[in-house]
Chain A
Amino acid sequence: MRKTSQEEIKVLLGNVAIARGIVEAGCHVVTSYPGTPSSEIVPAVVELKKELGLNTYIEWSANEKVAYDNALAASLTGKRAAVAMKQVGLNVASDSLMSSAYTGVVGGLVIISCDDPGPHSSQTEQDSRFFAMFAKVPAYDPSTPQEAKEMVKEAFELSETFEIPVVLRPTIRVSHAKQSVKLSPLRVLDREANFEKNPERWAATPKYRLVLHKKLNNTLQKISERFESDTKWNYEVGKSRGASLGIITCSVSFANLVDILEELNLRSAINVLKIGTPYPLPQKRIADFIERHKKVLIIEETDSVIESQIIDKSKVLGRLTGHIPLEGELDPDGIHNILADVLRELGIANLEKVTDSKLDKLVEKVKPLVRKPTLCAGCPERAAFFAIKKALPKAIYASDIGCYTLGLNLKAVDTVLDMGAGITLASGFYQAYHQDKKDIPIVATMGDSTFYHSGTASLLNAVYNNARFILVILDNEITAMTGMQPTPGLGITADGSEGRKIPLKELIKGCGVKWIKTIDPYDVKNLVKLLKEAKEYSQRKDGGIAVIIARHPCIIRFPEVCEESPVEVEITDDCNGCNYCLDFFECPGLYLDEERNVVEIDRNFCVDCGVCIDACPKGAIIPIKK
Chain B
Amino acid sequence: MNLQIILAGIGGQGILFSSKVFSELGLKMGLEIMGSETHGMSQRGGSVIAHLKLGKFQSPLIRKGAADILYSFEENETYNTLKFLKHGGICFVNLENVDQFNKSIMKFLKEEEVTFRTYDATGAASKIGSIRSANIVLIGYSVGTGLVPFKYEDLKYVLELVSGEKNLKVNLKALELGFQEGKLTGNNP
A179 to B77 alpha-carbon distance, docked (Å): 25
Cβ of B58: which chain A residues have Cβ within 8 Å of it?
143-144, 254-256, 258-259
Q: How many of chain B's residues touch chain A, expressed as a range?
A: 35 or more
In this assembly, does B129 line the interface, its C-beta being within 8 Å of a C-beta of chain A? no
On chain B, the residues within 8 Å of A258 by CB distance are: 58-59
Whether A540 sits at the interface, judged by CB under 8 Å, is no
Q: Do residues A121 and B42 form an inter-chain contact, with CB atoms below 8 A?
A: yes
Chain A residues contacting B43 (CB-CB under 8 Å) are 373
Q: Which of B20, B44, B76, B108 contacts A375 (CB 8 A)?
A: B44
Contact of B80 among A9, A176, A368 (CB under 8 A): A368
**B105 and A333 contact, CB distance less than 8 A:** no
Nearest CB on A from B4, distance (A): 11
CB neighbours of B77 from chain A (8 A): 368, 371
A374 touches B41 (CB 8 A): no
The interface residues of chain B, by DSSP majority, are classed as mixed
Among A178, A255, A359, A372, contact of B105 (Cβ-Cβ < 8 Å): A359
Contacts of A121 in B (CB 8 A): 40-42
Instruction: Count A interface residues, CB 8 Å.
Output: 55
A374 closest partner in B (C-beta): B45
Cβ–Cβ < 8 Å partners of B10 in chain A: 371
B97: shortest Cβ distance to chain A, in Å? 16
Q: A259-B59, A362-B102 are in contact. Are A481 and B76 (CB under 8 A)?
A: no
* Cβ A371 vs Cβ B60 within 8 A: no
Is B108 a contact partner of A362 (Cβ separation < 8 A)?
yes
Cβ contacts under 8 Å, A358 to chain B: 108
Chain B, 32-72, CB within 8 A of any chain A CB: 32-47, 52, 57-61, 63-65
Contact B42 A360 (CB under 8 A): no
Whether B59 lies near A373 (C-beta < 8 A) is no
Please, which residues of chain B bring their CB within 8 A of the CB of A359?
A: 82-83, 105, 108
B142 within 8 A of A: no
Task: Check A177/B60 contact, CB under 8 A, given A368-B76, A373-B44.
Answer: yes
Which residues of A have CB within 8 Å of B30?
3
Q: A1-B32, A374-B46 are in contact. Are A363 and B105 (CB under 8 A)?
A: yes
- The CA-CA distance from A179 to B34 in the complex, in Å, is 4
Which of chain A's residues 161-209 have a Cβ closer than 8 Å to chain B? 173, 176-180
List B contacts of A254 (CB < 8 A): 58
In the assembled complex, the CB of A149 is this many whole angstroms from the nearest CB of chain B, namely 14
Query: What's the least CB distance linking A9 to chain B, in Å?
Result: 7
Verify if A301 is at the interface (C-beta below 8 Å from B).
no
Q: How far apart sit A11 and B24, CA to CA, in the bound complex (Å)?
A: 7
Task: Find chain B residues with CB under 8 A from A362 CB.
Answer: 102, 104-105, 108
| CB neighbours of A173 from chain B (8 A) | 36, 60-61
Q: How many angstroms between the C-alpha atoms of A363 and B105 in the bound complex? A: 7
Nearest CB in chain A: distance from B98 CB, A: 15
Shortest Cβ gap from B96 to chain A (Å): 12
Quote the shortest CB–CB distance from A622 to chain B (angstroms). Answer: 25
Given contacts A259-B57, A359-B82, A363-B83, contact A176 B38 (CB under 8 A): yes
Within 8 A of B (CB), among A462-501: 481-483
B118 in the interface, Cβ–Cβ < 8 Å?
Answer: no
Shortest Cβ gap from B48 to chain A (Å): 9
A354/B64 in contact, CB under 8 A: yes
Q: Are A365 and B42 interface neighbours, CB within 8 A?
A: no
Assess whether A120 is interfacial by the CB under 8 Å rule: yes
Are A371 and B52 touching (Cβ within 8 A)? Answer: no
Q: Is the CB of B36 within 8 A of A176?
A: yes
- B46 in complex: contacting residue of A37, A144, A373, CB < 8 Å: A373
Q: Is B79 positioned at the interface, with any CB of A under 8 Å from its CB? A: yes
**A375 partner residues in chain B, CB cutoff 8 A:** 44-45
A1 CB → nearest B CB, Å: 5
Q: Is A331 an interface residue (CB 8 A)?
A: yes
Contact present for B27 and A9 (CB under 8 Å): yes
Q: Check A373–B108 contact: CB distance below 8 A.
A: no
Establish whether residues A178 and B37, one from each chain, have CB atoms under 8 Å apart when the complex forms: yes
Q: Tell me whether A177 and B34 are in contact (CB under 8 A).
A: yes
- Name which residue of chain A comes closest to B111, CB basis: A358
Assess whether B59 is in contact with A255, with CB atoms less than 8 Å apart. Answer: yes
Question: Does A624 lie at the interface of the complex (its beta carbon under 8 Å from any beta carbon of B)?
Answer: no
Asked if A52 CB lies within 8 Å of chain B CBs, one says no
Residues of A within 8 A of B171 (CB): none
Contact of B63 among A9, A39, A143, A332 (CB under 8 A): A332
Flag whether A311 is at the interface (Cβ < 8 A): no
| A window 101-121: CB within 8 A of B | 120-121
Q: Which A572-625 residues have C-beta < 8 A from chain B?
A: 588, 604
Is B131 in contact with chain A by the CB < 8 A criterion?
yes
The reply to whether B61 and A331 form a contact with Cβ atoms under 8 Å apart is yes
List A residues 335-377 near B (Cβ within 8 Å).
Answer: 336, 354, 357-360, 362-363, 365-366, 368-376
Nearest first, the 9 A-B pairs at minimum CB distance are A36-B40, A368-B79, A177-B60, A121-B40, A255-B58, A373-B46, A180-B33, A178-B35, A259-B59
Q: A120-B42, A180-B32 are in contact. List 6 more A-B contacts (CB 8 A).
A: A13-B37, A255-B58, A332-B63, A359-B83, A363-B83, A371-B77
Interface residues of A (CB under 8 A from B): 1, 3, 9, 11, 13, 36-37, 39-40, 120-121, 143-144, 173, 176-180, 252, 254-256, 258-260, 331-333, 336, 354, 357-360, 362-363, 365-366, 368-376, 403, 406, 481-483, 588, 604
Q: List 19 A-B contacts (CB under 8 A).
A: A121-B40, A121-B42, A144-B60, A176-B38, A177-B35, A177-B60, A178-B19, A179-B34, A180-B31, A255-B58, A256-B58, A259-B58, A354-B64, A359-B83, A366-B102, A371-B46, A371-B77, A374-B46, A376-B45
